[in-house]
Amino acid sequence: MSVQILEQDLAAVVRNETTQAIEVMAGISPVGTADDENLGQEVLDEIVATLGFAGTNQGIFVLSTNQETAKTICAAMLCMEVSELDGLTEVSDGVGEILNMIAGNFKNAWLERGNKMEITIPSVSFGKPITFSTGKSLVTGYAAVVEYECGKLRIEARFYD
């Protein structure tokens, strides 16, 4: 079964909530965004945050980026220099919070369409490729790469059957 791309309005929510979360909390504006049609693949990046959801559908949100980009964004959120960050603890927390905002605000849009959704607390991993195995088929999804002067990050929403 081929994966359907999430309808345009909801795809825009995913994209816009990503850029807004970082713009409002870190004061960093994107220099470009692009849709990524590679859905449901193994996630290869230095920092990967995931957050699950259930309800009308079940699935996950995945936010991935490299350490330098994550550190720059998180330091800006905290009004600190990158060198002042407490190792990867604050980076992990900050990336998780950004994903929490993206998913939480997507949930609001999803609920307005008469759907149900409960989301989990985000979890963040470092340095390893992540593969998700649910025993279910990926039916709908959307991914975008957002580019900043400090690097790129990728947001993906996956809906399973």
- Three-class SS string for 42-88? CECCCEEEEEEEEECCEEEEEEEECHHHHHHHHHHHCCCCHHHCCCC
Q: Which of 11, 46, 67, 97 binds other proteins (CB under 8 A)?
A: 97
Q: Is 115 in the site for other proteins (CB under 8 A)?
A: no
Which residues between 64 and 83 bind other proteins (CB under 8 A)?
Answer: 74, 77-79
Minimum CB distance to other proteins, residue 138 (Å)? 25
Q: Does the protein bind other proteins through residue 111 (CB under 8 A)?
A: yes
Stretch that binds other proteins, among 31-39, 40-48, 64-72, 92-100 (CB under 8 A): 92-100
> Shortest gap between Cβ of 129 and other proteins (angstroms)?
25
Distance CA 127, CA 117 (A): 30
- Kindly state the smallest distance separating residue 48's Cβ from other proteins, in Å: 17
d(CA 42, CA 23): 28
Contact partners, residue 113, CB within 8 Å, separation at least 6: none
Interface residues with other proteins (CB under 8 A)?
20-21, 24-25, 74, 77-79, 89-90, 93-94, 96-97, 100-101, 103-105, 107-108, 111, 119, 121
